[in-house]
Structures are given as C-alpha cells and as structure tokens.
C-alpha cells in the first residue's frame, strides 16, 4: 500500500462491494484497495504498509465500537480514518470525530462523489493536524530543552555559589563556639538556633539543587539514579515505591536523562494527584528497545478530559520527551482504576 491506497475494513460483503463500486466510478478509481474483514487482518496489513486512508466499520467479528477505532489509530497514526456507520452507531461515530477520526459516512446515504470528497478532505485535514502536532512537539521540545539547560545552570549556581557562601558563614559561626562561654543564656540560645537554622537551610538548598539536576545522573547508572529517586520520594510521601529493572547497558546520555525525567514527572504526579498507596516502576531492557512501565493503585483519571485540559503541561511534556526520541507512549487509566503508563524507546541515537 502507498499514499494512493485505501484500507477497507468491513466484514459485510455487500457494503464492501458497494464501496469498491463507488470508488471505481470516482476520481479515486486508480487507487489501490486492500480489504480486511477482521481487525486482526487490518492490523497485519498496517504492520506492513501505511495506507493513504482507512475506511473503518466499527462492528467487526473480532472487535466492536470504539475499541476498533483506537486499535486501528494506534497502529496507523499517520493515516486518516473515516468511520463507516449505520444510524444506530451515529452518535458513537460523532464522538470518535472528537477522538481523532477525520470523518464518518452513514451507510446507504452516500454516493461516489460524496465518498470521494470525504476521503480527500479527510486526507487534507489529517495532514494539517499532523503538521500542527509536529510543530507543537518541536516547540515543546525546545521549551523542555531550555528548561533542562536552565535547571543545570540554577543547580550549579545554588551548589557552587549559595551553598558555598552559606558554608563559609557556618564555618565563621563555628569559630564563635570557642567564645560561647561568654554568652548569657539568651545569647547562647540565639546562637544555637542560628546555627541550626543555617544547617537546615544549607541542606534544603542542596536538596533543591539535586532535584533540579541530580548528581546521580552524571555520576551513577540510570538504574541507580532511579532507585535513589524512589527512596527519596518514599521518604517524603505516603506512597510505597517498587522499582524493577534488568538494565545492564547504559543508554546514551540524552535518552538516559529523558527516562529519568519521565520517571521523576510521573512519580511526582502520582504523589500530588493519584492518592495511591503503591507505585511500581519497571525498566526493562531488550536488544533494540528499552521499555518503561509505571503502575499505581490510585484514583485514576479521565484520560481524554485531562489531555484536552489547558492545565496538562506535565503529561504533554512527557509525551514530547517520548516523541523527541521517536518513542511510543500508551496511557491506560480511568476514574477509580489506577493508572498504567507504558513507554518504549529505540536504543539508537536520538533522531
């Protein structure tokens, strides 16, 4: 299949015959048509080729309704999908337009010209959406890159500047200890309080510096850095973290930082929003790919509602980090059912 091709996913012989007949008498009569009567057959076709457009019946022998659409969309993100629907499924077809389908056609209520226009317009809309999404990803990727650069700068300033200055103050206070016997009780109490507050402040600034750009990223393996992060987060939250990995070979530096930042973002989100008791992080190494999976037993969320919200920079930034490395991300969650997030990365160089 190629750009001038259509994947027709329809199990009804009469509907397939009519669609092919109409296409043969339209301006798309030279387009190649590949047929699939089951979802499994369609996915097998999509693994081999990317069609110019997909005509999808929602009611198939091995799949039904929105699940049919989501599975096809997941396997063909670059192809526009046009829903074939009967009047009984019309409301579902309209909902799927909001989820990424480019158009719908009501069976029995179209002609060759309408079919041709629907496919042409769907292709153009999908191209525009794909280009807009790509530009948005480039912009967000630039923002994240600048954010990481600024984090490094601020962390260095805090560690090499502020912390060192406060350490000098601490040493100066220490020199006064030899004269503490000359202080009255009130002065001694103030001295001890000042020393204690200064020590706490230095520790807090060090913690901020390390959270902005942990030394472990540069000095430790990715597995050790994530394990240290899990221990720190468990100490400061009500969630029990579990980390499982078989990673032996380190990914390249850019991917290493990306994976760490994703784990950091997802863990922080879980602490802030999930009300979970437990969270598991798995980092699994395969010959060509690295898989990162997180699972919590929290309250979950409505994925479509959250992703469409303007206050969703966290998830959008995670998606951008994944996409910038050519990776894949799947989010499986719904209210009351916890959250599972799966990401995969090719272990080659970025881009």
The per-residue pLDDT for range 111-133, each reduced to its tens digit, is 999 999 999 999 999 999 888 87
- Asked if residue 266 has pLDDT above 90, the reply is yes
Across 94-101, average pLDDT: 88
- Lowest-confidence range among 65-74, 111-120, 138-147? 138-147
So what's the pLDDT on residue 101?
A: 93
Give mean pLDDT, residues 21-45.
Answer: 94
pLDDT value for 351: 45
Q: How far is CA 54 from CA 18, 101, 222, in A?
A: 16, 10, 41
pLDDT value of position 117: 95
Average pLDDT over residues 127-150: 76
- Asked which of 4-8, 106-110, 125-129, 155-159 is least confident by mean pLDDT, the reply is 155-159
Compute, in degrees rounded to 10, the torsion defined by CA atoms 122, 310, 314, 76. Answer: -10
Residues of the chain above pLDDT 70, percent: 89
Q: What integer is the mean pLDDT of 217-226?
A: 84
pLDDT at 349 over 60: no
Mean pLDDT of 25-51: 93
Q: What is the pLDDT of residue 198?
A: 86
Q: Does residue 350 have a pLDDT over 60?
A: no
Q: Tell me the average pLDDT across 240-259.
A: 90
Query: How far is 290 from 263, CA to CA, in rounded Å?
Result: 14
The pLDDT mean for the chain works out to 85
Residues 38 and 67 sit within 8 Å (Cβ to Cβ)? no
Q: DSSP readout, 76-101?
A: -TTS-EEEEE-GGGHHHHHHHHHTT-
Mean pLDDT of 246-270: 89
Residue bearing the bigger pLDDT, 255 or 323: 255
pLDDT, average across residues 228-232? 88
Domains of the chain: 5-110 (3.40.50.2300), 214-351 (3.30.565.10)
The mean pLDDT value for 21-44 works out to 94
pLDDT of residue 304: 65
Please say if the pLDDT value at position 93 is more than 50. Answer: yes
- For the stretch 184-195, pLDDT in tens is 888 888 888 888
> Mean pLDDT throughout 238-263?
91
Summarize the confidence of residues 318-335 as an average pLDDT.
84
Q: What is the pLDDT of residue 36?
A: 96
| 112-157 helix and 313-324 helix, angle to the nearest 10 degrees | 100
Higher pLDDT, 302 or 264: 264
In tens, the pLDDT along 149-179 reads 777 677 777 766 777 778 777 877 787 787 8
Q: Which residue has the higher pLDDT, 279 or 200?
A: 279
**For residues 5 and 53, what is the distance between their CA atoms, to the nearest angstrom?**
7
Q: What 3-state class would DSSP assign to 331? A: strand
**10 Å Cβ neighbour count for 12?**
15
Quick one: pLDDT at residue 305?
Answer: 65
């Amino acid at each position: 299949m190629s750009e001038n091709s259509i994947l027709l996913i329809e199990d009804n012989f009469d509907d397939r015959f009519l669609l092919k007949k109409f296409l043969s008498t339209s301006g798309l009569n030279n387009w190649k048509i590949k047929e699939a009567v089951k979802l499994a057959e369609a996915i097998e076709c999509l693994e081999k080729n990317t069609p110019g457009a997909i005509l999808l019946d929602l009611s198939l022998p091995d799949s039904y309704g929105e699940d049919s659409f989501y599975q096809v969309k997941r396997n063909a993100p670059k192809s526009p999908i046009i829903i074939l629907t009967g009047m009984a499924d019309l409301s579902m077809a309209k909902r799927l337009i909001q989820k990424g389908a480019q158009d719908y056609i009501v069976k029995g209520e179209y002609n060759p010209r309408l079919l041709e226009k629907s496919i042409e317009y769907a292709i153009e809309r999908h191209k525009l959406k794909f280009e807009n999404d790509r530009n948005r990803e480039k912009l967000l990727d630039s923002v994240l890159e600048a954010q990481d650069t600024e984090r490094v700068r601020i962390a260095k300033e805090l560690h090499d500047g502020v912390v060192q200055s406060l350490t000098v103050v601490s040493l100066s206070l220490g020199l006064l200890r030899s004269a503490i016997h000359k202080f009255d009780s009130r002065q001694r109490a103030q001295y001890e309080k000042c020393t204690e507050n200064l020590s706490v402040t230095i520790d807090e600034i060090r913690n901020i510096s390390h959270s902005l750009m942990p030394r472990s990223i540069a000095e430790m393996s990715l597995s050790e850095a994530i394990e240290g992060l899990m221990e720190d987060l468990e100490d400061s939250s009500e969630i029990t973290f579990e980390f499982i990995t078989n990673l032996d070979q380190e990914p390249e530096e850019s991917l290493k930082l990306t994976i760490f930042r994703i784990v950091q973002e997802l863990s922080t989100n879980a602490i802030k929003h999930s009300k979970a008791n437990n969270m598991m992080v798995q980092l699994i190494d395969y010959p060509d790919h690295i898989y990162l999976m997180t699972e919590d037993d929290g309250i979950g969320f409505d994925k479509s509602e959250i992703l469409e919200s303007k206050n969703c920079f966290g998830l959008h930034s995670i998606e951008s980090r994944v996409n910038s490395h050519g990776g894949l991300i799947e989010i499986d969650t719904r209210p009351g059912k916890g959250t599972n997030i799966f990401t995969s990365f090719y272990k080659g160089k970025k881009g």
